[in-house]
């Protein structure tokens, strides 16, 4: 099972499994030796989560997710607006964002979206995190099916993910720079996001 942003197929990225390693896994999938279950979420939610995580990491702090770093979305919006130039530097994948630590940079947003598309083309089963929030038992059953495991779902309770679906919408509404960032994305990146089943204009 691979979560988006934890391994790469095309680009070298900091703290991700390298393309050559991923390539060996994909060869195993193509040969029928292995199955690949790929879990992904809306790229804009991933972008915000990754920015919060990485800015904590490069400053020498314990990396945190949005729910740990902020009491509510208003705090996130205020921080993003105040540090928007830093956010743009991260979203562009500029090495300067990571200059405090040796090693490669993380993916730019465009590269992240492209990598997601490549995994969707290679996966045995692709699952959207948002669907786990709607019906976690149904999505878990899909994983069991790929693994050829018989699951008695009548006695099971699968809690939904703790994260919030489409949290980026509140940020888009309250941070003009973030809305502008989305509007100015190149056509290819927008096409890839739409192909994943997400509405860029929403």
Domain count, the chain: 1
- Strand arrangement, sheet containing 37-40: 2-3, 37-40, 125-128
Q: Does residue 51 fall inside a structural domain?
A: yes
pLDDT mean over 51-67: 91
pLDDT mean over 32-50: 96
Q: Does residue 46 fall inside a structural domain?
A: yes
Q: What is the pLDDT of residue 115?
A: 97
DSSP three-state, residue 25: helix
Q: Is 148 exposed, middle or buried (0-12, 13-18, 19+ CB in 10 A)?
A: exposed
Only one residue has tokens 């056509």, namely 187
Give per-residue pLDDT as tens, 68-100: 999 999 999 999 999 999 999 999 999 999 998
Sign of CA dihedral 108, 124, 146, 130: positive
Q: What is the pLDDT of residue 157?
A: 84
Q: Does residue 42 fall inside a structural domain?
A: yes
Q: Does residue 96 fall inside a structural domain?
A: yes
- What are the structure tokens assigned to 147, written together? 């693994």
Q: Does residue 200 fall inside a structural domain?
A: no
Q: Does residue 34 fall inside a structural domain?
A: yes
Kindly report whether the global pTM for this prediction surpasses the value 0.85. yes
Q: Does residue 45 fall inside a structural domain?
A: yes
Q: What is the pLDDT of residue 102?
A: 84
Q: Does residue 201 fall inside a structural domain?
A: no
Q: What is the pLDDT of residue 123?
A: 96
Q: What b/e string do you get for 76-106 counting C-beta neighbours within 10 Å, with b at 16 or more? A: bbebbeeebeebbbbbebeeebbeeeeeebb
For the cut 90, the answer to whether the pLDDT of residue 127 exceeds it is yes
Chain centroid to CA 35: how far?
21
Q: Which domain holds residue 26?
A: 2-195
The C-alpha angle 128, 3, 159, rounded to 5 degrees, equals 55
């Amino acid at each position: 099972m691979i979560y988006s942003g934890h391994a790469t197929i095309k680009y070298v990225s900091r703290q991700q499994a390298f393309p050559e390693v991923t390539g060996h896994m994909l060869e195993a999938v193509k040969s029928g030796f292995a199955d690949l279950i790929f879990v992904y979420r809306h790229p804009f939610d991933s972008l915000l989560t990754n920015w919060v995580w990485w800015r904590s990491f490069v400053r020498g702090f314990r990396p945190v997710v949005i729910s740990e770093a902020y009491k509510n979305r208003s705090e996130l919006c205020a921080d993003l607006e105040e540090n928007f130039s830093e956010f743009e530097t991260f979203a562009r994948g500029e090495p300067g964002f990571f200059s405090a630590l040796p090693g490669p940079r993380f993916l730019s947003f465009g590269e992240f979206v492209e990598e997601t598309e490549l995994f969707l083309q290679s996966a045995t089963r692709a699952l959207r995190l948002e669907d786990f929030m709607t019906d976690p038992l149904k999505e878990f059953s899909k994983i069991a099916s790929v693994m050829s495991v018989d699951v008695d779902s009548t006695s099971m309770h699968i809690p939904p993910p703790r994260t919030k679906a489409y949290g980026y919408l509140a940020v888009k509404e309250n941070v003009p720079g973030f809305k502008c960032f989305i509007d100015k994305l190149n056509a290819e990146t927008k096409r890839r996001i739409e192909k994943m089943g997400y509405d860029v204009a929403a």
